[in-house]
Amino acid sequence: MLIVAAIFLLSRQYLRGATILALAVWLVLGFLGATIAQEPRTKNYILNVIQSGELDVHTPLRWHGVLRDEPATLPWGVSYEIELTSVDYRDVSISIQGGLRATYTPDADEHALPNVHAGDQVGLVAQARLPQFFRDAGVFDRRAYLRSQGIDLTAALRSTELLERNILTDGNNPEVSCFVAGPEITAQINSTKPQTPQDQQSDQQQ
């Protein structure tokens, strides 16, 4: 209503009234945004699950979720933004909420990535990490920025074979050629591509 009133006053050339209403709209939207940001997260929010000790992300795990958008083509590869729904940990599926950004840098010797699109159910095996965080004053807080964009964890996809599109059955359960992040998968991930300096720095900061 405030926006409509501001447009009406502007059309009537009541600039002062339109300006006051525009400022009021800006203040209301800012207040609502701050209120939403401060709402407590659910118990199964991924960061709460990690902080509670229920989940250890220092090893590769199998993550399940829904692609929020189309895969993004980057100069160095492809990026996937996934709305997490669950993670397999110690032979148990844990229901979670949160966002994961997975990136993949192509290797000439590997197979093509699966053909996935926004809204697809996907599963991937990767070691997820908290985004980089620098404690120096005045340094850009990448972790807070990504969290404001709905990204709580980041991960590097080490092989095209570690990403799959889940096919939903009548019971809405993902039916895929399942593989578990056991010793074989862990070895494959670690040997496929070495850790980047950013990965090593992120490990030290967690």
Contact 67, 81 (CB under 8 A): yes
Buried-exposed string 53-86: b where 16+ CB fall within 10 A, e elsewhere: eebebeebbbbbbebbeebeeeeebbbbbbebbb
How high is the pLDDT of residue 186? 47
> Are 31 and 57 found together in one domain?
no
Look up the CATH number of the domain holding residue 54: 2.40.50.320
Whole-number pLDDT of residue 96: 96
Q: What pLDDT is attached to residue 61?
A: 96
pLDDT of residue 166: 83
Residue 135 pLDDT exceeds 90: no
* Residue 9: predicted pLDDT: 44
Give the model's pLDDT for residue 54: 93
pLDDT for the residue numbered 85 = 96
Contact between residue 37 and residue 149 where contact means Cβ atoms under 8 Å apart: no
Q: Provide the 10 A C-beta neighbour count for residue 113.
A: 17
Q: How many domains does the chain have?
A: 2
Residues 55 and 157 in one domain: yes
Are residues 19 and 63 part of one domain? no
Same domain? For 186 and 140 the reply is yes
> Same domain for 114 and 181?
yes
- Express each pLDDT in 40-83 by its tens digit: 678 999 999 999 999 999 999 999 999 999 999 999 899 999 99
pTM (global) more than 0.75: no
148 plus 59 within the same structural domain: yes
The domain of 175 spans 46-205
Mean pLDDT of 14-42: 57
pLDDT over 50 (residue 170): no
d(C-alpha 120, C-alpha 163), whole Å: 12
pLDDT score recorded for residue 56: 93
Rg (CA), the chain: 22
Is the separation of the CB atoms in 75 and 94 below 8 Å? no
